[in-house]
Structure 1
């Protein structure tokens, strides 16, 4: 977590706050009006994080792309996997874009900072970190289905084994 003392504690417009957050982490990012895109290295892959702000609706749509593309012959099993994975989530969901075969995590957040439509650093951090954590947690599940030949149920069971103790 970022130290509040190192950053302006005041709320900011959602895209401004995300830009501040990305810069504080040293993450490569690019901004275009009401959209910002960042690249983040995870433990499994590099993620593209994309946020789009709809001021009229006070909604921030946040997308995380875990660099997984699904071929036509694997779509049915990936759709089943997405259904099982989404049952495990409290916030956000995974989906597969039908036109491109790209897998992504999506979350839409209502941002009601009063009349000024601002977002706190804590909210930005929660939004970004939870998306990355869910992508990291379920990346192996999708890989087991796509490349390991496992059924969606077996992949989920294998990837979510809780280990005890230390090696």
Structure 2
């Protein structure tokens, strides 16, 4: 991912969804914005991710979700729940979860946003961390979930196989 800097964008903090809209636009990502929500599509190495941010003004919370286009069949949910638990142990920010009603896998992070009496604002740096962390974690763990769902690996074996740290350059 390309990080933006102040040369790419006026880096004054903005309203949370305004900042994300500008961030998505600066990256050339297609996005839709409605009321207190914005969503974008981003092509990753493994799949296309849907990014969605929801603003709860009354709480001053910006919820950020990334959907890695994985839907889990009923018979595989126990293994995926175990995989989610193991994956979440590896994360510093956010977490994976699966919606029980639909089997949709997602990454979620909620951020408390700075608020003054006039407005809530999100900095460019905070927007970058929110977006890039979601994409990076989805990219890192997508193979893990695929190994469990399609490769027949146990959650522990999938984590071990997918998260091997490489040394040097090839």
For the criterion TM > 0.5, the same-fold answer is yes
The two structures have a TM-score, normalised by structure 2, of 0.96
Distance 2:142 2:8 in 1: 32
Q: 2:122 aligns with which of 104, 114, 119?
A: 119
Runs in 1 of length 4+ with deviation above 4 angstroms? Answer: none
Q: Does the alignment pair 1:11 with 2:7?
A: no
Q: CA deviation at 1:8?
A: 1.5
Unaligned runs of 5+ in 1: none
How many matched pairs? 167
Give the structure 2 partner of residue 135 of structure 1: 138
Q: 2:64 aligns with which of 62, 65, 86?
A: 62
Kept in 2: contact 1:113–1:119 (CA 8 A): no
Deviation readout 1:8-51 (Å, 9 max, x if unpaired): 12111000000000000000000001100000000010000000
The two structures have a TM-score, normalised by structure 1, of 0.98
Q: 1:72 aligns with which of 71, 74, 78?
A: 74
Unaligned runs of 5+ in 2: none
Distance 1:29 1:86 in 2: 28
Kept in 2: contact 1:15–1:51 (CA 8 A): yes
Q: Does the alignment pair 1:87 with 2:89?
A: yes
SS at match of 2:62: strand
Distance 2:124 2:168 in 1: 34
SS at match of 2:70: coil
